[in-house]
Structure 1
Amino acid sequence: MGGAMPEPAPGEIEWPANPALDEVREWIRRSAPGRMLAGAPVVYRCAPWGLTARFAASGNAIFFKATADYFAAEIPATRLMNRHFPSASPRLIATREEPGRRWMLMEDYQGRLLSEAKTPEPYLAAVRTLAQVHAYFASALDEVPPTIPRLPATQVPGLLDELIPYVERWYASEWRASERLRHDLLDLVKANAHRLPAWAREVSALPNSLDHGDLHSGNVAVRRDGSVVLFDWSDVTVGCPFFSMDFLLSSITQTLGAMEGARLSAEYLDALAGWADRDELDRLYMLALCLGPVRSAYTYKIIEEGSDCRGRFHATVGWWLQRAVTRWGQLG
């Protein structure tokens, strides 16, 4: 997961009580015999939805990830990517798939995060790879296991219908007090909700594929040879592939400017030119970017309800819905 909130630096986070470090070490010992661990792990993230840590080990460092049950699809999605795009996904060493114990052990990505990039080329490499993934699975959905949720574009308006009363109950007072959100945000969301079904019907003309759901620049690794690894498939669904572009577009625009954002979009759409003529593709892309933030905002409702922390991510949900409202306004 990502969003508008800053991430803590690796090494600043303590290992949590659950899962117990001794239990994880023993599982790694049994799952990767011959890979001797050295020293304390570096915890990169500890959040309601999971834990990510790096262990120094003989041969090569390894990553451990524990994922919440409501993000159980990450393991089959990563396995699927290993099968069809092994060079563009973290290589799995072992997995554990039990309630409360959804664990992955992965080889080190051997790259730097895309968020460290100062030029557009790594971003362009990322969207070219993403387009290859989307093109492949658009014609091979029968290979996607049923454990990966289906979320076609036509379901997104219903997500907003569920989200509005949730926002009213858990976020409204925080939003009114926020200096980062417009004071009329909730009113604008409610006033424009009726427009989404028509947009969703248009967008449904696109083929469905794997939608990463959280592809920001901190979930892409860039190797020395310029190739990329797409990781953290916790939010994955089968749905509108264009939704996956939203976060990357935000990342490059904030880092390198709007012109590079436009170039990124063009690179991605050029790779999928066979899906529709360019004018139609451009329109469907814009409409998808009007729907995508709703899908992202709804994910935090899933997290809050699944982790019993309702109201915690009011700022992040507000950021996503303000992004949506801005785009709705651009459509007139």
Structure 2
Amino acid sequence: MLSDVPAVVDRGRYPDAVTPWDDDVWRTAVLGWVEAGLTARGLRPTGEWRVRLRPWSVLLRLCVEGRDPVWFKANPPASAFEGALTAALARWVPRHVLEPLAVDTGRGWSLLPDGGPLFREVLARETVGPGAWEELLRQYAAMQHALTARAPEIQRLGVPAVPATALPGVFDRLDDTPLRPEERRRLGELRPRLLDWCAELAAVGVPDTLDHADLHDGQLFHPGPGRFTFFDWGDAVVSHPFCSLPVPARRALDRYGPHVLPRLRDAYLEPWTGDGRTTAELRRAVRLAWRLSALSRAAAYGRLFLTATGTVGTAGAATAVAAAGARCLLELLDDPPL
């Protein structure tokens, strides 16, 4: 029985954050569901299991007999669509994503196979050049492009739709983000220009599709040369695809310097060329989306496990989450680096 095996619990920087893990009834239901899912696949858990608790997810790593570990994930209500989305992506774009072992769409639970080494782990132990980042962006953009016709289906799974024309409303709803008076003033002065940027981005005519919204090097696997697997869709939106580029591009910028950015941009844009849009128009759209992507990422910090009073736990946990959202929002003030 899983409940008889000792667990190691990691709460990270959020030791007092609220998650359902501390509810005995919920935890018992999870462990029973996981055991049933493993049994249905002919798998038997062995040894210690690890728990990672964050305000936005509960993640369990379980060793199983004869194969790599498996993972359980529970999402809060606002991102409970992730299990259904992961299962749908495994049908639509199987080469690019994980295929879940089991999904409970009603409860926002997923049981997932191991995807191999994270790209972050590969970067830590090997010399990896910019070409790998170009290839991952090329593959990711090709996946997004293939999913454009699926955008209505993705929305029906519960993934929020945030077209460029809706971004000013997202900006307005983030008015309670904790900011210093000077920061709030500067953002307020930016709003008329934000309206123009959104209209210009929409006018380019690139169709909305799935935006991961947090595609950093810890959110994709790199199981072998030229192979990448994308996962962790809890922040996803249906939005302008180019909003996906800034997060991975900034990670590469930190490693290689600014000269790498045009290469990454052009690799990402390859699947989007044609359809009557010029290279200049696409590059301009990248600059616009680079800045505007901050809004979806800031809004994602509202997808959390909450108490009955609507808080994420203690004041310390709430402050840490709010500060992270504020940092995203302030990126609106930065000029795009390409």
1:83 to 1:252, Cα distance in 2 relative to 1, 3 A: same
What residue number does 2:10 align with? 13
User: What is the RMSD of the two structures over their aligned residues, measured on CA atoms?
Assistant: 2.4
Per-residue displacement from partner, 1:262-308 (whole Å, max 9, x unpaired)?
A: 32111101231125210000111101111110221122244487862
Contact 2:213 2:236 in 1 (8 A): yes
1:109 to 1:252, Cα distance in 2 relative to 1, 3 A: same
What residue number does 1:180 align with? none
Contact 1:36 1:58 in 2 (8 A): yes
- Tell me the secondary structure at the aligned position of residue 207 of structure 1: coil
What residue number does 2:327 align with? 319
Contact 1:51 1:66 in 2 (8 A): yes
Contact 1:41 1:53 in 2 (8 A): yes
Q: State the one-letter code of the partner of 2:264.
A: L
What residue number does 1:267 align with? 267
Which is worse superposed, 254-263 or 228-237? 254-263
Structure 2: 5+ residue stretches without partners: 1-7, 12-18, 313-317
Q: CA deviation at 1:22?
A: 4.3
Partner residue of 1:135 out of 121, 145, 148: 145
Structure 1: 5+ residue stretches without partners: 1-10, 177-183
What residue number does 1:35 align with? 43
What residue number does 1:206 align with? 206
Q: CA deviation at 1:139?
A: 3.2
- Tell me the secondary structure at the aligned position of residue 41 of structure 1: strand
Partner residue of 2:108 out of 102, 107, 122: 102
Percent identical across equivalent pairs? 24
Q: In 2, Cα distance between the equivalents of 1:273 and 1:227? A: 23
Q: State the one-letter code of the partner of 1:161.
A: D
Matched, 1:196 2:202: no
Q: State the one-letter code of the partner of 2:286.
A: Y
What residue number does 2:164 align with? 153
When normalised by structure 2's length, the TM-score is 0.82
Q: In 1, Cα distance between the equivalents of 2:23 and 2:260? A: 42
Contact 2:135 2:267 in 1 (8 A): no
The count of corresponding residues between Structure 1 and Structure 2 is 304
What residue number does 2:219 align with? 219
Q: In 2, Cα distance between the equivalents of 1:13 and 1:155? A: 37
Contact 1:215 1:244 in 2 (8 A): yes
